[in-house]
A and B are shown apart, each in its own frame.
Chain A
Amino acid sequence: MFKKKLQKMLGVVLAVTMMGTLALTGCKNSDGNDAGDGGSDANAGQDASKPTVTLMIDITGFAPLNAATQMTLSKFPEYNIVSKQWPAEDLTKTIKTTFASGGNESIDIAFVACRQLQNYKDADMLLDLTSYLEADPEWKASMSESMWEAATIDGKIYAVPWQAAYPVMICNNDILKEAGVTMSDDMSYDELVAAAKKLKEAGYAPFGIEGGVASWVLKQAYLNAFDTEEEVIAFCNGEIPFTDPRVKAAFDKAAEVFTENYFYLDEGALAATTDEITSGFANEKIACIFSTNSAAKNIIETTGIENYTIMGMPTFSNTGLHNLLGAPDVYFVPANVQNEEETIEVLKYLTSTEVMQAMVDGGAVVANANVDTSDEFYAMVSKDLDRVHVLDPVHLSDEIADYLNVSAHSEYIYNGEAVLEKLEGMRQKLQ
């Protein structure tokens, strides 16, 4: 009897709450439409008088971008700057959908890893920034040439690099000491394997990498698969066939380290998630993990490993070359930008030394050459910038890019040489 009453009351309460909410939000709605409502500006959907610039670059908890966004918001009160969270997985869908619909909505500034830039360029969705850069030489000079190289397609510059990202190897020194192993920047493949064997005998997983970027191992292998740098460049430009024995040797090495179970989770290594790797490293089961240089600080803090060394990713080759794969993150402007002039102004500010310095203080390794890099940790995660080799065969076509970045590596482990023939077929299509 009482229960029924209680339920009835609950129903009434719920109904009243909903009515109240409806009324409240209804009021809010009409308030937002009132002109000249100064108080709730932050909540207003759009302020028709000011040009809107939508940024999609902020990431909660990532201090460098938080700082950049905050500084931009206060610097441009004359614009209506809307800041959205950067969605790693849905960015392409968001940009391409708003683009395709041809409406008034647009994302004005976003960022991607430069290797995904080609994807947008192929659909002609990028704003050509070359003329703006030529008009402002100081802006152009603030980043190094190799950084701009990453953002250049067919001779035109389509994006502005801001973060110099490359993979590093974070080693747990305690484990290395216990197993009697040393790791160094310029280890050859054979030395690497020898060290890995010793680590396995001591009961540790020698390496750990997130399954989704396991192709880094392959990239390191093929970027260093030749005897001279000229040949590497030729390979990246599609002049050397994928069925070349040196390329095959690179693929073999990249496959071997996984089939020999040198990577954490053994058979499950290719499906390892970031969380599993972080957990394994925190529990001191993995000797060395591979990660992006900008993530290093976060990893050290989260896993609590105190005795560590950070160095650039090894080359997985025996040729003595020293290339390091790198994919700088770049800001780009979609071609359907609404307020072009204002957006470029905001973009310039975002990549100015002032903002970049704030990002360095937040722990990012930036592309701006004018920043003060005296912080010790920063030095550690940025010292390999010179080795970064941006040119890569993935620039040849979308198909090759997707295949090499995502599936070639794991498919090679299961299907062997058929993968090389497939790649060669893709390369032939372009001849």
Chain B
Amino acid sequence: MKQKKVQGYQRLTGYLFMAPAAVMIIVFMIVPLLWNVALSFCSWNGNSSVEFVGITNYLSVFSEATTLVTLKRSVILALTATSVSMLLGMLYAFLLYRLRKKEQSFFRFVFFSPAMLPMTVTGLLFVFVLSSNGLLNALLSLLGLESLQHAWLADPNLALWVLGIVQGWKGCGVTMMLCTTAILSLPDSLYECARLEGANYWQQVRIIMLPLIKPTLKLQLSMTVMSSFKSYDIVYAMTKGGPGEFTYTAPMKIIQLGFTFNEYGTAAALGTVLVLLASFFVIAARFALRGETYEY
């Protein structure tokens, strides 16, 4: 009896605690999202009245080659960026943990700084680094690797991968921060056993730290996948979707459909498809990292 009462009281408090956040999220995120979904079944040019057209927009998304291919590009970009961001961020976090406090602070600052710099400057910089006669190609020829020189951002086959790598690099600071925060909350006592048994650092990482920070990894993986599907600024700043439309990703196509072609219904449909596609990948990622979570 008392147990139930306690549970009931907890639940009530819980709802109360969630209420303010829920209100803000519903009004400013969920309502616009639902509006988009509703619009995806209609036709609208931004000014006239809204007409219901059923699934015509979705059919057009899947039948227009130029639209469908942007989804494929978004997937490639997301996978590349996520891999780079996660691997690099985790690497940094684990390596940093070996160093002294002061050094850790310094390196944390350095590795997080790309995330804080506005896209305008980073875009300018990378355009000149990746230019056909830019820094990267110059470096390659210095190292005698001239055969590897490319027009990094102009080659349609290459540009997307390059963009993914740049995006991953920019976002790895966030992964690093979250992993570091997670690692810091692991108590000392855990390592004593391992040390007594003579395990080296990397074994400790593999057996103790990685499994224990798995929830954080799962979380960050989901967030990174999600945000790399939605990225617009980086692609736009570096290639504007070019050459031509070869690096047009789904978000850019959504903008084009809406603001250039005045087809907001199709844009909303593409947006909804993108959300479903991204959800699929996020859930897949979470499934890959499923398992027990530990308390310590």
Tell me, yes or no, whether B231 is within 8 Å of chain A by CB.
Answer: no
Show 28 residue pairs from A and B whose CB-CB distance is below 8 angstroms, ordered by the A residue: A89-B236, A92-B259, A92-B260, A93-B255, A96-B46, A99-B46, A100-B47, A119-B262, A122-B45, A124-B48, A125-B47, A211-B242, A266-B132, A266-B151, A267-B154, A268-B154, A270-B242, A270-B243, A270-B244, A271-B242, A271-B243, A272-B131, A276-B128, A279-B128, A398-B260, A398-B261, A398-B262, A414-B156
Main secondary structure of the interface of B (DSSP, over half): loop
Query: Measured between alpha carbons, how far is A89 from B241 in the docked complex, in Å?
Result: 13
State how many angstroms separate the Cβ of A282 from the closest Cβ of chain B: 13
Q: Is the CB of A268 within 8 A of B153?
A: yes
State how many angstroms separate the Cβ of A234 from the closest Cβ of chain B: 26
Q: Is the CB of B155 within 8 A of A267?
A: yes
Residue of A nearest to B262 (CB): A123
Known: A125-B46, A270-B244, A271-B242. A265 touches B262 (CB 8 A): no
Tell me, yes or no, whether A409 is within 8 Å of chain B by CB.
Answer: yes
The residue that B245 contacts in the complex, of A125, A276, A398, A406, with Cβ under 8 A, is A406
Q: Is the CB of B242 within 8 A of A212?
A: yes
Name, among B124, B156, B259, the residue most crowded by chain A CB atoms within 10 Å (CB to CB): B259
Q: Is the CB of B153 within 8 A of A271?
A: yes
Known: A92-B259, A124-B48, A212-B240. A410 touches B246 (CB 8 A): yes
Name, among B154, B243, B258, the residue most crowded by chain A CB atoms within 10 Å (CB to CB): B243
Tell me, yes or no, whether A256 is within 8 Å of chain B by CB.
Answer: no
How many B residues touch the partner, as a band?
Answer: 20 to 34
The residue that A410 contacts in the complex, of B48, B151, B243, with Cβ under 8 A, is B243
Q: Is the CB of B47 within 8 A of A124?
A: yes
Tell me, yes or no, whether A239 is within 8 Å of chain B by CB.
Answer: no
B227 cross-chain contacts in A, Cβ below 8 A: none
Query: Measured between alpha carbons, how far is A402 from B253 in the docked complex, in Å?
Result: 12
Residue of A nearest to B258 (CB): A96
Tell me, yes or no, whether A138 is within 8 Å of chain B by CB.
Answer: no
State how many angstroms separate the Cβ of B117 from the closest Cβ of chain A: 17
A130 cross-chain contacts in B, Cβ below 8 A: none
The residue that A271 contacts in the complex, of B47, B48, B154, B260, with Cβ under 8 A, is B154
Residues of B near any A CB (own CB < 8 A): 45-48, 124, 127-128, 131-133, 150-156, 159, 236, 239-240, 242-246, 255-256, 258-262
Query: Measured between alpha carbons, how far is A345 from B235 in the docked complex, in Å?
Result: 41
10 nearest CB pairs, A to B = A410-B244, A268-B132, A268-B151, A271-B154, A270-B243, A407-B244, A267-B151, A268-B154, A407-B245, A265-B132
Residue of A nearest to B124 (CB): A275
Known: A122-B45, A267-B155, A268-B153. A406 touches B244 (CB 8 A): yes
B124 cross-chain contacts in A, Cβ below 8 A: 275
State how many angstroms separate the Cβ of A272 from the closest Cβ of chain B: 8
Q: Is the CB of A265 within 8 A of B131?
A: yes
B128 cross-chain contacts in A, Cβ below 8 A: 275-276, 279
Tell me, yes or no, whether A411 is within 8 Å of chain B by CB.
Answer: yes
Give chain A interface residues in 250-281, CB to chain B under 8 Å.
265-273, 275-276, 279
Q: Is the CB of A211 within 8 A of B261?
A: no
State how many angstroms separate the Cβ of B57 from the closest Cβ of chain A: 16
A89 cross-chain contacts in B, Cβ below 8 A: 236
State how many angstroms separate the Cβ of A408 from the closest Cβ of chain B: 8
